[in-house]
Amino acid sequence: MLRAWRLLAWCAVGPLFLYLWWRGRREPAYRQRWAERLGRGAVPAQQRHGVLLHCASVGEVIAARGLVHQLLADPHWGPVTISCTTPTGARQIAADHGDRVLQRYFPIDTPGATRRFLQALQPRLVLLMERELWPEFLHQAQWQGLPVALVNARLSERSAQGYRRWVRLVGPALRSLRLVLAEDAASAQRLQALGVSPQRLQITGNLKSDVQAGPALRQAIAARRAAIGARPVLTAGSTHAGEDEALLAAFQRHLATEPDSLLVLVPRHPERFAPVAALLAASGLRTARLGDGEPAWSDTQVLLIDRMGELMLWYGVAEACFIGGSLVPRQGHNPLEALCLDKPLLTGPHTANFATVFQALEDADALLRVADADAVFTQWHALRADPAACSARVARGRTVHQALTGALQRTLDSLHPLVAPFDLQAGAPPRVHQAGGSTVWADGALFAEASPALFDPEHWRQRGSVQRLDGGRGQVHRVADAQGRYLLRHYYRGGLMARVSRDVFLHRPVPASRAMQEMQLLGALRRHALPVPHAAAARYQRAGLGYRADILVQEIPQATDIARLMDRERNLSDAEWQALGRVVRRLHDAQCFHSDLNCHNLLLDAQGGAWIVDFDKCGFRPGDDWKAANLQRLLRSLRKELRLDPSFRWNDSRWAIFTTAYEADPRSALAPTASLP
């Protein structure tokens, strides 16, 4: 299914750019920054290794305001980049956050575009707002080991039905998510039915419930209201085709009894501005467009808001607010922006998108639900005719709103464990040397050049010392110089293929070769403070139609694998088994599959810190299904050592201590178990 999606995405590239060019006739910004749509564009160094937040457009950008402010206020998160798909979203990001964030267009969901986008940003954490699930993007993030969380997740029954038809594509995308923060129980149940693990699913509430009107907004509301004067104002927000026509016709009838009324229309999408303006021109009403300048308030009957991002301002100006998308089957829009301004709310019958909030308001008698456009104005008249009842209704709405708040803090608390202490140096690009068929990558902080001599034991004998070690199926040398001690390992084949070729592997691109893959994986894990060795250098050596490979890693000081400890020295303490359980849990929480998780590859240092080594043929893997089998592999290795040597210090009762620590609250698993050199 992913291959089919890729083919579809590639085929859609041309039509997409034609669409952007066509949209650019009315909105020139659609014809700009096309390189970003392909994942291209330089990223300032200071903006890398932070949080990437993707918001589809204006609504999501506004909903994420509080979250972004909190991310920027705490250096724990690092720099913030916000992506979107529309120029209106980009303008809203600039208006809200200025140059405090980096803004980029989200790439087309092709392998090349998403890979370039993520490699340029190198984020520590990716946050997707509400329902932005792009299969290729999530696949690339998974294989780069990036934690991805779906925030403010909302899934209506109608959307869930659509996802169920594409469950073979959507299911893996959902399972790749590290965390899903749902806004209500109904959304959580639907997401779980589509494959989200209950262990990764939390109900944190709707971030929009924490939207507040700041002093600047309240001042702007007061200024607008003073300009309008004492006229009664109704704001119809986020309206759609079909609603605008019905509301205008009903408003004309309403004017017969209340001629001083002002209707403020705020269409949901900018492409509706021109059609609604045409409707107004044909209606015979005295109308004005905000984009044409300050209207004549005493004469205007209908004001069209043709600028994005001002909905809360015009909700605040009004005496009552109608929530659009509810007279037509668009299933309603967010009522919380009007609710936080202490306004009485009116809505049509279609409110499934925010069913939980609307139901809470209806249960508290804080909402007026109407059947048609005429009833909107009838109920507005009733609200104005009984100020005491209107004030009581607003007070009940305020109580509901207060009960809904707190989603922002719950969201931050849930996300915090995903961002472990971060090693920027581990993300530095290596030095590269290429000559003939040899390619060498080396850490520039350790070596002045990426020399092939780093993989020659004789070179190390001349500089310091060399000791040949027992390395399983092949050779491992402990080498040292004045700068430190390293383990030099040559890659060998195993199994039946070793009879054909002992150390030559089938051709792969250099970055995908065994040594380079392991070096990149170790770098990614160390950037997230996982206790794994530091890869100092790696070599690819062409050999006919294949290649040979070597890797040089820093030796972990005073560390011994637990198989050697239990065989030759002592029993492990409960605290040591707990440290081992936590470190394996951290590895699994990072979605890293260790292909050879056994007791020889788990180490303890002199301070009791736990380490994991030997990441050949390992990598990031989505989902959770493989983790139990990975643990069983470790258990089998311990039992195997006991079968081979009855004096081996192991019994299965120790496994319960290990698994209890493994299964503990994942937040505790983020506590470092070793100090990285």
Active site residues: 60
Q: What angle do CA 584, 598, 522 make, to 5 degrees?
A: 55
Say how many residues make up the chain. 677
Q: What angle do CA 218, 224, 230 make, to 5 degrees?
A: 110
Q: Which two tokens stand for residue 285?
A: 């009403």
Closest by CA to 582, choosing from 574, 625, 615, is 574
3-state secondary structure of 430: coil
Q: Token match 């669409």: residue?
A: 19
Handedness of CA 509, 513, 519, 520 (dihedral sign): positive
Work out the number of other CB atoms within 10 angstroms of the CB of residue 27.
15
Using only C-alpha atoms, the chain has a radius of gyration, in whole angstroms, of 30
CB 644 within 8 A of CB 566: no
User: Phi then psi for 53, rounded to 5 degrees?
Assistant: -115, 120
DSSP string, 323-352: ESSTTTTT-----HHHHTTT--EEE-S--G
3-state secondary structure of 193: helix
Rounded to the nearest angstrom, the gap between the alpha carbon of residue 142 and the centroid of all alpha carbons in its chain is: 11
3-class SS shares of the chain: helix, strand, coil, % to 5: 45, 20, 35
Report the half-sphere exposure of 479 (CA within 13 A, side-chain side).
21
3-state secondary structure of 504: coil
The answer for residues whose C-beta is within 8 angstroms of residue 30's C-beta and 6 or more apart is: 20, 21, 23, 24, 87
Q: Which two tokens stand for residue 271?
A: 């492409």
Beta-strand ranges (E) seen in 302-423 are 302-304, 320-323, 345-347, 367-369
The CA distances from residue 655 to 170, 565, 578, 667, in Å, are 36, 16, 10, 21
Rounded to the nearest angstrom, the gap between the alpha carbon of residue 337 and the centroid of all alpha carbons in its chain is: 24
